[in-house]
Amino acid sequence: MLSFDDFKISNLLRNAISDLGYKKPRPIQSKSFPVILSGKDMVGIAQTGTGKTFAYMLPILQMLPFSKEKHPRVLVLVPTRELVVQVVAEVEKFGKYSSIKVLGIYGGTNMNRQKEALTEGADIIVATPGRLYDLILTRALKLKTIKKLVIDEVDVMLDLGFRFQLTNIMDLLPKRRQNIMFSATMTSNVDKLINEYFIGPVKVTVALSGTPLDNISQTCYSVPNFYTKVNLLVDILRNNELYNKVLVFVSNKKSADRLFNALDEFYGSETCIIHSNKTQNYRLRSIKQFDEGKNRILVTTDVMARGLDLDKISHVINFDTPQYPENYMHRIGRTGRAEEKGASLLFFTENEKQYKEGIEDLMNIKIPEIVLPDHIEIATRLTPAETPKIIELNNPTKRNSSEEGSDFHVKKDKNKRTNQGGSYKRIIEKKYKKAKTKGDKNYNKRNKRK
């Protein structure tokens, strides 16, 4: 289907589309529409920026009849609070001329207010799995009326460790429902989830994971260390006309803070930052300032930025080289959106060279390298992670950690536990050798006495 005229949709939706100025459907929209409309389960492999939100919302809104039902009929699960806010805004735009009620639910905010909002009823709930599950436990939300489940950015969700909440929620949903899932990358974990919960899903793919978007130019620089990377970045950013909306990626919060502080001296008023240790309000404010062009530079970690719908990014700068090539694909997918030209720069150290090669293998291309310009000062200052470790043999006062002073830490024993599910039952079984059953409360007492 090459035109929205080919879609069987109501005039209300048609008007909303024309208000949004969408001229023609994106490939993911043309391909998903008939599948979702047919009621079949669907797995969509699409990166952010391809128009996937609209791809599932358009057929869902088309199929959602008016109802006086207060309980939600559509559940959309997304990995981050930011994405909840964004998807709710999108649904409101599409559903502008209908009476569809959409409600966003996410953690880090007052739960009572969300409970109150739920009592007023909603047709579509957009939620992060954690808070949604809390609301189910308090009985503020019932899922028995859900007819359609959408899980967006499944790969990110599983990455964030949401599997347990996700499967718990799916177990509570009515068996007869339509499942729709979107993921940018296929991983074995995503596959497992599909096998467990989906029935004969139709796979819809628009770009193979690992295929770079054609309209993004990619270059890379070999740079010796963190603070030389800072010098290079400061130099590059001087051209504020060309580098007018720059997303700078680092892999962890510590590096993000370190970079943000280093940039402060040069571009303090132009830079903002998001990562998971920042409060939600702080993050939302940063994103808004960046999106509106008040700040031209946004420093972010991978997890925080995936899924955000930021418009017209001029450059993605990979300040470090992602260990997983898929993360690089996600990062560069943030520029060149909506069929516009974009650019990506990658900084790599000697240690990160292997990761760069992994990325090149995945894409099956070599990223053109630019030689570090002579005027870039080579920094002698090192980060704790870059500082060579002095190994003192037989020093009893020195802690024996090879990671000391680095950005990473070794998990304490108590934090190494893994969630094995059904903990109470497991503990009781271990203690009494046999499961304590509801039917015979005195079983264990009797056995103990023996």
Binding site for ligand AMP (CB under 6 A): 22, 25-26, 29, 48-54, 309, 338
Provide DSSP, 393-414.
Answer: TT-TTS---TTTTSS--PPPGG
CB atoms within 10 A of CB 382: 13
* Dihedral Cα 355, 361, 365, 366, nearest 10 deg: 40
Give whichever of 237 and 332 is closer to ligand AMP, judged by the CB atom.
Answer: 332
Least distance in angstroms from the C-beta of 52 to ligand AMP: 4
> Which H or E element spans position 254?
helix 253-267
CB of 25 to ligand AMP, least distance (A): 5
Minimum distance, C-beta of residue 209 to ligand AMP, in the bound complex (Å): 15
Find the radius of gyration of the CA atoms of the chain: 25
Contacts of 137 (CB under 8 A, 6+ apart): none
Contact of 201 with 179, CB cutoff 8 Å:
yes
- Sheet bearing 202-205, strands edge to edge: 102-105, 124-127, 74-77, 148-151, 178-183, 42-45, 202-205
CB of 100 to ligand AMP, least distance (A): 18
CA distance linking residue 49 with residue 335, whole number of Å? 9
Closest contact distance (angstroms) between CB of 101 and ligand AMP is 21
Among 74, 95, 323, which Cα is nearest to 179's?
74
List, as one string, the DSSP characters of 171-225: HHS-SS-EEEEEESS--HHHHHHHHHH-SSPEEEESS-TTPPPTTEEEEEEE-SS
* Residue 105: CB minimum distance to ligand AMP, A: 19
Q: How far is the CB of 133 from ligand AMP (least distance, A)?
A: 25
Backbone φ, ψ for residue 409 (5° rounding): -140, 155
Select 199 or 338, whichever has its Cβ closest to ligand AMP: 338
Instruction: Tell me whether residue 130 or residue 307 sits nearer to ligand AMP (CB atom).
Output: 307
Q: In angstroms, what is the minimal distance from the CB of 109 to ligand AMP?
A: 23
Strand partners, 183: 45
Nearest approach in angstroms of CB 340 to ligand AMP is 11
- Identify which of residues 22 and 97 has a Cβ nearer to ligand AMP in the complex: 22
Comparison of 29 and 32: residue with beta carbon closer to ligand AMP: 29
DSSP bridge pairs for 401: none
DSSP summary character for residue 415: G
